[in-house]
Amino acid sequence: MRRFLYLLLATTTVMVANLASAKAYKGAEIYSNASYLYGRYEIRMKAAKGSAVLSTFFTYKNGSEVGNTFWEEIDIEVFGKNNATEWQSNIILGSSRPTIQTEQTHAAGVSLADDYHTYVVEWTPDYVAWFLDGVEVRRIIGTSTVTSLTNAQSLRFNLWASDSVEWVGAWDDSILPVYQFINYIDYKAYNPVTKAFEGGWRDDFDQFDTSRWGKANWSFDTNRVDFVPENVVVKDGILVLAMTTSSATGFSGTPPADSGSSASSASSSSLVASSSESSTSVSSAPVSSAMTSSSVQSSEAASSVAVSSIAASSTASALASSTATGGSSGGSGGGGAMSGLWLVLLAGAALIQINRTRRIHITL
């Protein structure tokens, strides 16, 4: 009987914690089950439009959010504000909090939400470069910012909404639902001997490959949405990430066709040869993650700092340090009369919430 009561207490505590942390809006995120050291990452994406909304692709060293672990992350984030005409490149790293940021904002000249566009990140021991539609937009060469990126990183897409008005604009939930559409991701491994990008794999999202990807079920502070698996949909060869209200998750429409994907892929193929001058002999093969899923943190804005995210297992409930908590699963919070036991459990859940690592913006 005592064993049963302990089990009931543990289960109920988790349920109360989830209810207490549930948010009114739901977003989506996927993460790779493997991590990769260096490489070329090409994605074809149609961003979501709307103030406060962010459509992202980034690489992330799992566990970076834990304590004073050295953070490693490379970002592409498309702003939904201002007709989605701007995007941000960034490298986040460092053991101290706030972390070191290298964010730059780039004007696209067109709305990145009106059509699909091709984004590329090249990561080698000597440089990190960002491309949009075959044109190099930014390159960081040989600095400690680049040479400090020494660990394999998972691959992430997410659609979320920041509460930092000065960064992403004011929130207006009347825009919901909004969607991020991803046609494909093409990964090439980096060969340090030939200094070229070779081999690898490509996912055209004809199905959701659970051997390669997991679906997030967590959130973090400053994020207006919970990530829920229901908002990750693959349809007609397109990965759809949805941002919705809690009562209208999912996607039932028809993804917009990408008529320019073949031409874009051909034009960007000329960028595969690396311009790195390094002869560093570091393996570029995929490396299994120590935790196949960890918390994830999208980069913060110009003059902002990323301080936390959520740790979770891809096959079980959240794993975390004392400064991170598992995110909420889908569904909205509930209320009603509570017995004394429920009040005790709710107090425990509140302590869990208080212990949550903060993700804040600091003006530098």
pLDDT in tens, 5-41: 444 444 444 443 444 469 999 999 999 999 999 999 9
pLDDT of residue 362: 27
pLDDT of residue 65: 86
Catalytic residue among 29, 77, 122, 300: 77
* Residue-range domain boundaries for the chain: 2-354
Distances (CA, A) of 296 to 106, 206, 343, 344: 23, 25, 31, 31
pLDDT of residue 263: 47
Q: For residues 329 and 326, give the distance between their C-alpha atoms in angstroms, rounded to a whole number.
A: 9
pLDDT of residue 302: 31
pLDDT of residue 194: 97
Asked, as a colleague might, if the bond just before 98 is cis with ω within 30 of 0, I would say: yes
Q: β-strand 53-60 against 154-161: which pairing, if any?
A: antiparallel
Cite the beta strand spans of the chain per DSSP E: 25-32, 34-36, 39-46, 53-60, 71-79, 86-94, 100-101, 104-107, 117-123, 127-132, 135-141, 154-161, 178-191, 196-203, 213-215, 225-227, 232-235, 238-245, 286-288
Compute the C-alpha angle 197/202/293, nearest 5°. Answer: 95
Reported residue count of the chain is 364
**Residue 316 has which token pair?**
């079980």
DSSP notation for 153-182: BEEEEEEEEBS-HHHH----GGG-SEEEEE
pLDDT of residue 56: 98
29 an active-site residue?
Answer: no
Q: For residues 152 and 284, give the distance between their C-alpha atoms in angstroms, rounded to a whole number.
A: 9
Tokens 């909205």 locate to: 332
**292: CB partners within 8 A, 6+ apart:** 33, 34, 214, 313, 314, 315
Which fold, 2-354?
Jelly Rolls (2.60.120)
Q: What's the pTM? A: 0.73
Q: Are 53 and 161 in contact (CB under 8 A)?
A: yes
pLDDT of residue 134: 98
Q: Which of 90, 94, 89, 91 is nearest to 71 (CA)?
A: 94
Q: For residues 295 and 193, give the distance between their C-alpha atoms in angstroms, rounded to a whole number.
A: 33
Catalytic residue among 73, 103, 122, 300: 73
Low-confidence ranges of the chain (pLDDT < 50): 4-20, 263-264, 266-271, 274-364
65 an active-site residue?
Answer: no
pLDDT of residue 181: 99
Compute the C-alpha angle 208/183/161, nearest 5°. Answer: 85
